Structure 1
Amino acid sequence: MMPITPVVKQLLIINILFFVGSQLVPQAYDYLSLYYFDNDQFHFWQLLTHMFMHAPISNIGHIMFNMFALYMFGSSLEHFWGGKRFIFFYISCGLGAAALQLLINYISIQQTLEPAAYLNLSHRELYEIFNTDFRQGTSYTSELLLPKIEEILRTGHPGVSLTQESLSAIFNAAIESKGVMVGASGAIYGLLVAFAFMFPNAEMFIIFLPIPIKAKYFVPVLIGFDLVSGISSTWFGTGSNIAHFAHVGGALFGFIMMWYWRKNRFNHNRWN
């Protein structure tokens, strides 16, 4: 088994410190998780910090699986690449994961808003609506959102009437805008792609299917599953609290970097 390498060790420590700290100070989730950019809780640093945050201890498997994968695949890559190249790749994949997930969220919200397009709400007006407090207990309710929408229509769009369909569209879009993302999974998927590039014939196992599968087959199938799951949950309403497109984004950015490095014969250069 590959000995743990220095940068991987530091990343493990940072992730564990973030995890323990966020359990002791739950408010950390409000500042360090990644919010949708039209949510007033969004801050630019969340693009980086979200990849060191993980689900609460009730879902401890989230950080356990990610850290295990970081150790298993990251150490092999850092051994060949050197620490600087490895951390550049890791952070880039994490940022790519965030970028694609935010883009998909934006597209999904715009599509959800289509029945309300005739209202001609501006970006600023939608921002105000999305950041209205319409939570009652642990649930969102359209009755608390309705007064804000009516106020905006009365002030800026006199004579335009709100239908039940358009109210439902705005309500659902506002709920989508409340979503948050945490976890190193996007960066980990980038590592998986890099591992498959460098060690295509290495045999890997699925926990519930103890049959060895070569990395060059295992990784594409895993990414394909996330792509299908992401499409299903985003556009067909199957529902999921997993940011599947973040996984796909991390893998995509990892693939682009590996393809570029290999094309430019940069694949075996170390950054020490």
Structure 2
Amino acid sequence: MNPIMVAVRAGLFRGRTELRNSFTNAQDLWTYFFPTVILLVVMFFMRDATVPGTGFSLGARTLPGTLGMGLVFSGLLGVGGQLTVEREDGTLLRAKAIPNGMLGYLIGKIVAIAGMAVIGLLLQLIPAMFFLDGLHLGLGNWLTLLLVLVVGLVATLPLGAVLGAVFDNPRNMGLISLPVMGAVAISGIFYPINGLPGWVQGIAEALPIYWLGLGMRSALLPDNMAAVELGHSWRHLETFGMLGLWAALGLVLAPIVLRRMARRESGSSVAARREKAMQRIS
């Protein structure tokens, strides 16, 4: 069998195994349910508030954007964080020792994180359907949601791998978290960005989190809610175009950066990072 196909099959098996094991790991279960409970409580108390100038539920308007935000966090911080941890503990070095092991490792990690992201989204969306008025969930809406979900994950997961390869210390992931939170603040997740300065809107439109939020809103909200968006439209072509550009960028950069990172990995570098970690603990 083709060695590449062997690595792909191994990666798919690894990803399914990690995803299945996440249902028996207390930390992973906490990751599933704690954000879900917090989000649903917030949405419940927002259900009777309305979007200014309309009678539409502010909670229903906010929920799709927060789902998009969750995908960004899973793609950028989930993959990046696990990559830095497993780089420090030697997992990547062991993967490097296997023919095409890095390819299998990356595929496995993407499958596992993508599966966790989808499960987290459904855990939030399905209960919210019962107490938020205004969500549209016909067949066309589910198809649009699926398409946005797939394109959004492809746009963010490879970028998360790039960030994880650049930062070799899990404690440096805060350098990624802060800019991501800043992007959330200006990307229309919790409120329309029409009132922000034009240059801030331009920055938001250059980032994938804005387009993921917009795509989610276009899938789950009625068409008349596009009136509060920039351009008074769901801008489907721009949404998939921008997310496609980010996906292409990540897919080009990720293999290059990961190969360079793998070449630098050695037993001595892993031992040095482990010693530094032990010194910090002591």
Larger helix proportion of the pair: 2
- TM-score normalised by L of structure 1: 0.28
Give the TM-score normalised by structure 2: 0.28
Larger Rg: 1
